[in-house]
Structure 1
Amino acid sequence: MIALPLREMLNIHYRIHTEDKLFLGDKEGYRQGDSIYFTISGENRETILLEQAALSYYLKENDLEMLAVPIPNAAGEWFTNFADNSWMVMQVQHLSKQNGKTKGIQLAELHQTGASFNYEPKSISSYGQWKELWIEKITAFEGRIESNAWETPSEYYRLLMDFLPYLIGISENAIQYLQESEREQRILQSDQGTTTFIRYDGNANQTIIWADQLMYDHPSRDIAEYIRSVFLKNDRQEKIIRFLNDYQTISPLSVFGWRLLYARLLFPIHIFDFIERGFDSPNETELKQMIEIQTDYQKQLRDFYKFSGVDTARWGIPVVNWL
């Protein structure tokens, strides 16, 4: 959205007269006093955004201040029709400074707070649904990759078709591991659903948490996505160990939680995310790099239980031996 319509919409529909423009990352916003306003498109996702709004307000009411929360317009409505689109406005009341807490502790505290939310969202919940969602993802991607390779043949799609059997194979392994783990009875209070992120990589330690990045799921979702981000950067194992130790000072992982965490790391979500972007802008060089990175990723995952201090033999936790 270009600058003038944004400022005009805030003026007309929100009675907010902004002073200057600023950017947070790639997000353009406008300031009025101590508040900064951003817009997001609500087109065809009104229900999702309203559930995310409910989560964000609950977190804010429970002392999590670094949130960009939606605000209603002057008519009391959450969405504003303007410039041929439906818009929601996000407000950041102040840019908070880092509070000195580590990522692990801060994420655990967010999960504890989110677990007390007394309403389970529907549209943004993946709690207990990983198996079905993963099967749907494999089916959809396999069909689209094969269709695109047939309709628009290129070196990118030739390489991707060669890689596809591995992608399907490791995905099916993850689903099988998840299915076996869902029978695990060793659970804790911390295994209930909570507020999580769509893709967590340290967001809870950033200046702002965006409401439209929130969802409802098992806490192992965020833990796995943080570890995945470290694996993909081929960063130090000590970083993961510290994160897990810090997290568990607040909220220890159950055996069930460890198994869900491992299943999610095994499922190659990062590759599906990459391929999804490639549907719009395929890049052969980047695909080759992703395939090479996956080799290192797999090696790190092979040693994950060991360096994390999980005694798989004593706890009776299965491992994937072919990694």
Structure 2
Amino acid sequence: MKSTINEQYGINVQEITKMGGFDSFRMHRTQFLIVPIPHLDDEELYEVFYFSQFMIENREPYIASMVLTKQNHLSFEKDSMKYVLLKYSNVSKRKGIQHGRDLAIFHQKARAFPYQVTKTNRIGQWKNLWEKRLDQLESFWHGKVHSQPLNRFEKIFVESFPYYLGLAENAIQYLVDTEIDGEPLPIDSGTICHHRFFYRTWNDELNVKLPTEWVFDHGSRDIAEYMRDLFFEKQSDAHSLSYRFLEEYNRITPLSPFSYRLIYSRLLFPLHYFECIENYYLAAEDMKQSYEKRLLLILERSGQYEKFLKGYTNMLAMNTNRIVLPTVEWLK
């Protein structure tokens, strides 16, 4: 990797260490990250590059910028894997982070992004993406039902899938009703979001925002995924932390009824379950056990997750008197 960096960028790397799961090196007061990007094609990468340039120009703090190769390319290849080189100045640890407030400011700036987005655009595409994902997993499940013998993970998957199929169908219907009935406001225009915005996304040892993790979507994507993550990471405090998070966000950017319904439809969709199943089958053998543990945890907490979904509507009643969400009958 040292010789590849030298060849591609003309940088003489002394030592490569690990930082936040990435290969990293330092020169003077600048930290560099070598980030694999198997999920981004060239056109997506260019859009993400323009996102990062725009946010840096708009003084969003802690953004890592992409370094161009000597041939002015955004990425390089090594051993059949594509990488980008990101750099950022060493920054001190942030104190007093308010995730809701900081995310609202981030979204607010990014809503002004002036260029058309095509490849990384997810606005209005949830229904198609969810249906496709559901169809693929259902087809895979049918195959497992009819194949023998099954290992422990597959038995659990076969038994649990019908419940999550129902939950996913509820989420899709809720989303469709929201898009038919809802009235989007200016706040509902597209913004830069994260593929997955977690509790630790802006809390880890990196203390930097990576544009390689961004997509263009409705801000409710980040809000819902953050709350979903709180449920699994901070379970006993998930409700109060979610309430505070929404309150912080609302102080900067008041959310619309349309936004609240999108958040709820996304929380209804059991992405945590789908990703666990998919990741198990993509994982190397030595990683499979961790996904089996994750699946058992998801199933163990399924009843609590239903309470968390019910609690969301109560949270809104406390947060604002103006907004009443349509209910999901069986969740009453």
Normalising by structure 2, we get a TM-score of 0.88
SS in 2 for 1:92: strand
Tell me, yes or no, if the aligned pair for 2:104 and 2:253 is still in contact at 8 Å: yes
Deviations 1:4-31 (A, max 9, x none): xx22122222111234433222112011
How much has 1:289 moved relative to structure 2?
Answer: 2.1
How much has 1:210 moved relative to structure 2?
Answer: 1.2
Normalising by structure 1, we get a TM-score of 0.90
Once structures 1 and 2 are overlaid, which stretch shifts more, 132-141 or 153-162? 153-162
Tell me, yes or no, if the aligned pair for 1:34 and 1:94 is still in contact at 8 Å: yes
Which of 1, 4, 9 is equivalent to 1:14?
A: 9
Tell me, yes or no, if the aligned pair for 1:170 and 1:268 is still in contact at 8 Å: yes
SS in 1 for 2:130: helix
Which of 52, 65, 70 is equivalent to 2:61?
A: 65
SS in 2 for 1:72: coil
Query: Alpha carbons of 1:311 and 1:64: their partners in 2 closer, same or farther (altered >3 Å)?
Result: closer
Which of 300, 303, 326 is equivalent to 1:295?
A: 303
What does residue 88 of structure 1 align with? 84
| 2:268 matches 1:271 | no
**Aligned Cα RMSD in Å?**
2.3
What does residue 318 of structure 1 align with? 326
Partner Cα separation in structure 2 for residue 316 and residue 65 of structure 1 = 36
Partner Cα separation in structure 2 for residue 223 and residue 27 of structure 1 = 26
How much has 1:235 moved relative to structure 2?
Answer: 3.4
Q: What amino acid is the match of 1:107?
A: L
Aligned residues: percent identity?
28
What does residue 107 of structure 1 align with? 103
Tell me, yes or no, if the aligned pair for 1:115 and 1:192 is still in contact at 8 Å: yes
Which consecutive residues of structure 1, in runs of 5 or more, have no partner in the other structure?
Answer: 1-5
Tell me, yes or no, if the aligned pair for 1:55 and 1:195 is still in contact at 8 Å: yes
Partner Cα separation in structure 2 for residue 21 and residue 96 of structure 1 = 21
Query: Alpha carbons of 1:25 and 1:312: their partners in 2 closer, same or farther (altered >3 Å)?
Result: closer
Once structures 1 and 2 are overlaid, which stretch shifts more, 276-285 or 237-246? 276-285
Partner Cα separation in structure 2 for residue 41 and residue 143 of structure 1 = 31
Partner Cα separation in structure 1 for residue 148 and residue 172 of structure 2 = 30
Count of residue pairs the alignment pairs up: 318
Tell me, yes or no, if the aligned pair for 1:174 and 1:267 is still in contact at 8 Å: yes
Partner Cα separation in structure 2 for residue 287 and residue 83 of structure 1 = 33
Query: Alpha carbons of 1:115 and 1:235: their partners in 2 closer, same or farther (altered >3 Å)?
Result: farther
How much has 1:141 moved relative to structure 2?
Answer: 1.2
Partner Cα separation in structure 2 for residue 239 and residue 311 of structure 1 = 13
| 2:141 matches 1:145 | yes
Query: Alpha carbons of 1:285 and 1:80: their partners in 2 closer, same or farther (altered >3 Å)?
Result: closer
- 1:211-226 equivalent positions in 2, closer than 5 A: 211-226=211-226
